[in-house]
Amino acid sequence: MSRSHNATVTVTTSSGEKTIDASDSSHLLDALTAHPEFHIPAPCGGVGTCGRCRVILVDAAGAPGPDAEERAHINGSALDAGVRLACRVIPTDGMVIALPDLRTTAYTKTTLQRFSSRFDPLFSADTVSAPAPNLEDQRSEVTRAVDAGGCSRADLSPHELAGISATLRETPSDDGSFVFDAIRTTSREPVLIGVRPASAKAQRAMVAVDIGTTTVAVYLIDCRTGEMIDAASQLNAQAPFGADVVSRIESESRSRRGAAADAIRKQITRMIRDLAEKHRIFEIDLLGAAVVGNTTMIHFLLGLETRHIAAAPFIPAMTDAIVVRGSEIGIDVSSGFRVHVLPAISAYIGSDIIAGVTASRLFRSKRLTLFIDIGTNGEIVLGNKTRLLACSTAAGPAFEGATIRCGCGGIAGAVASFSRRRATTQYATIANEAPVGICGAGVVDVLRVLLDDGVVDETGRMLPVDEALETVPSDARTLYEKRITTIDAAPAFIVVPADETTSGEPIVFTQGDAREVQLAKAAIAAGVDTLLDEWGVGPEALDRVYLAGGFGSFIDIGAAARLGLIPRESERKTRSLGNAAGTGAAAYLVSDAARVDVEKVRAATQYIELSSSMKFMEAYVERMAFPV
Ligand code: FES
């Protein structure tokens, strides 16, 4: 429900203060999400169940006090300090709030590589010359430019057409011929998408974009050499709309329509501009992009209806490849900037998976390979050169840290590895910064230690301290005596004590977290079982396992096998690919062979729907227990 009343709210962050209009917002979260610079996590999409959308009310300006949901999620001293849930606070005029300093830079491994010895850029710029016009040759300027550029046609906006006469004549030539830079895109046949004054010095670049539900990655690539100039990744600015795609789709129907699309479009534009500025590349010299993402993210980007993706029979508006002008979809980088969106297979097997499989080249090999992309969903592909099977499991965002009490994405300060030696624990954080939370890889490590020590049993139950002390190794008793505590009337383990964290609060792993991981790993393992069953083999037949995605960048493969996330038989055959989707999108930019491969992978992949699969249901129940 939306209210209309006068309400201006002052928002303070570490980078300054801003006054926003919250007159039409039913709650603070709604008002804040209209401003992408305020990155508020809201895994539950604003329904009040996750407790993560925390703000500090510096001046409540007469707003009602905390309600029952807020009291359930925020402890007494934090409530006293003004901590509230943004999705529960009704904005009032003159309200002042402070936002915690949230990190948005996400860390993933990039394994960008050359895909073929032949470099065939999707976007190119070459200096060409067209003969001077005369009475025998009265071809139009556009036709001259198309012919000189070796193109089959032109696709120029009225704005570009208006400037073509001047541009063609800008560079002087002795014989009156037109010397200019022809900007081309080459998805099937070369198309002239721009003309520029001839410049041997201009550094032209193109970008590969991977839009993950949690993380957005952008790679800047040199159009002349195909080399990667730089890359950036950030947490997806749609986080305030929910942690998973279904919450974001639901949030879209509850709040301002188009807000989630705006957030991702603005974020991509900003990331591209920032990278270009860092390398002193003019916006006019950014020629275009290849974009991959899960199907929902691509729908948001293109402004397509997302509602029918969220419910059975899960029908997307479109899964085909499409080329659009950036300006048509709010990627306002430069006037001629083109966006090639790669094709998807279904609502839950997106272009990111096709790009990842293309990058892995598993479809070219005889060896039977399992490809698992663990993000907010777990997408799985099984195959080799003869056949490809794919499924998507609603694993939930536990491995992205989203539904974990102290979870976070792969940001600086995320605990990414954890181990125990006698009565001490060791942990490492991303970028070696002071701990702020646990990312998916850290969650897997913590749970491995707790399973190995018997603090969590194979049913996923975390033992209370007295019971645990009877089970844990004798050299770890003093540790667990201090580190097992009680949260919400259930046992919890202190991963990092309060005096070592940035917030001054301990980083804990709770009984609820163990259950979240258990559900997610059961879904992924059951998806694997279903594909193996469909193929007619067992896990011993696997030659290789590839882990893709941000989570796969930091995960300890032994820990993943210990939890039953990947088949134990395959532990030694498993390797992490890092962000394979980003690698595939970059390959699409630099190699015609990769562009052909994308189509081949799409055509060869058989999608298996799990929601109606009996095998999946049985395997899901079976895989719920942790291996002993
Ligand atoms: S509790 Fe506010 S977004 Fe989840």
Q: Is the pLDDT of residue 41 over 90?
A: no
Q: How close is the Cα of 511 to the center of ligand 1, in Å?
A: 20
369 in Cβ contact with 544 (< 8 Å): yes
What pLDDT is recorded for position 107? 67
Q: Is the pLDDT of residue 111 over 60?
A: no
What pLDDT is recorded for position 2? 44
d(CA 334, CA 128): 22
Q: Is the pLDDT of residue 523 over 70?
A: yes
Q: Is the pLDDT of residue 429 over 50?
A: yes
Please state the rounded mean pLDDT for residues 435-447.
94
d(CA 146, CA 247): 47
**Residue 335, token pair as written in the block:** 């006037």
Instruction: Please name the amino acid found at residue 367.
Output: R
What pLDDT is recorded for position 400? 84
Q: Does domain 361-397+517-622 have CATH number 3.30.420?
A: yes
240 Cα nearest atom in ligand 1: 3
Q: Is the pLDDT of residue 98 over 90?
A: no
Please state the rounded mean pLDDT for residues 153-176.
93
Q: Among 108-122, 231-245, 475-489, whose mean pLDDT is lowest? A: 108-122
Whether the ω angle into residue 313 lies within 30 degrees of 0, i.e. cis, is: yes
242 Cα nearest atom in ligand 1: 3
Q: Is the pLDDT of residue 408 over 70?
A: yes
Domain residue extents for the chain: 8-98, 361-397+517-622, 400-511
d(CA 473, CA 259): 52
Q: With pLDDT > 90 as the criterion, what percentage of the chain qualifies? A: 72
Q: How close is the Cα of 255 to the center of ligand 1, in Å?
A: 14
48 Cα nearest atom in ligand 1: 1
What pLDDT is recorded for position 552? 73
Q: Is the pLDDT of residue 115 over 70?
A: no
Please state the rounded mean pLDDT for residues 191-196.
96
What pLDDT is recorded for position 410? 86
As beta bridge partners, residue 179 has 129
Using CB distances shorter than 6 Å, the residues near ligand 1 are 42-44, 46, 48-53, 85, 87
Q: Is the pLDDT of residue 1 over 70?
A: no
CA dist 386 → 365, 367, 383, 498, 560 (Å): 9, 10, 7, 54, 28
Please state the rounded mean pLDDT for residues 99-116.
62
Q: Is the pLDDT of residue 517 over 50?
A: yes
Q: How close is the Cα of 49 to the center of ligand 1, in Å?
A: 6
Cβ-count burial of 388 within 10 angstroms (0-12 exposed, 13-18 middle, 19+ buried)?
buried
Confidence band, pLDDT 50/70/90 cuts, at residue 40 = confident
Q: Which of 30, 40, 44, 247 to mutate to test the pocket of ligand 1 (most atoms within 8 A of CB)?
A: 44
pTM of the model: 0.86
In the chain the first and final C-alpha atoms are separated, in Å, by: 50
d(CA 364, CA 383): 10
Q: Among 157-166, 241-250, 276-285, 482-491, whose mean pLDDT is lowest? A: 241-250
Please state the rounded mean pLDDT for residues 148-159.
94
Query: Residue with structure tokens 């992009």?
Result: 289
Q: How close is the Cα of 407 to the center of ligand 1, in Å?
A: 14
51 Cα nearest atom in ligand 1: 1
What pLDDT is recorded for position 81? 77
d(CA 324, CA 537): 43
49 Cα nearest atom in ligand 1: 1
Please state the rounded mean pLDDT for residues 212-232.
92
Q: Is the pLDDT of residue 555 over 70?
A: yes
45 Cα nearest atom in ligand 1: 3
Q: Which of 40, 87, 248 to mutate to test the pocket of ligand 1 (most atoms within 8 A of CB)?
A: 87
For the domain bounded by 8-98, which CATH number is listed? Answer: 3.10.20.30
144 in Cβ contact with 130 (< 8 Å): yes
Please state the rounded mean pLDDT for residues 119-134.
94
Q: Which of 33, 83, 85, 97 to mutate to test the pocket of ligand 1 (most atoms within 8 A of CB)?
A: 85
178 in Cβ contact with 144 (< 8 Å): yes
Could you read off the pLDDT of 607-621 as tens digits, one per residue? 999 999 999 999 999
Of all protein residues, the one whose alpha carbon is nearest to atom 1 of ligand 1 is: 48
d(CA 341, CA 234): 20
If you average pLDDT over every residue of the chain, what do you get? Answer: 91
Query: Within 10 Å of residue 166's Cβ, how many Cβ atoms?
Result: 9
What pLDDT is recorded for position 101? 67
Q: With pLDDT > 70 as the criterion, what percentage of the chain qualifies? A: 96
What is the full DSSP assignment across 535-559? HT--GGG-SEEEEESHHHHH--HHH
Q: Is the pLDDT of residue 3 over 50?
A: no
88 Cα nearest atom in ligand 1: 2
Could you read off the pLDDT of 49-60 as tens digits, one per residue? 888 888 888 899
Three-class SS state of 418: strand
Q: How close is the Cα of 51 to the center of ligand 1, in Å?
A: 5
Higher pLDDT, 67 or 35: 67
Q: Is the pLDDT of residue 418 over 60?
A: yes
Q: How close is the Cα of 67 to the center of ligand 1, in Å?
A: 13
d(CA 625, CA 227): 46
Q: How close is the Cα of 85 to the center of ligand 1, in Å?
A: 7
Please state the rounded mean pLDDT for residues 199-226.
94
Confidence band, pLDDT 50/70/90 cuts, at residue 129 = very high
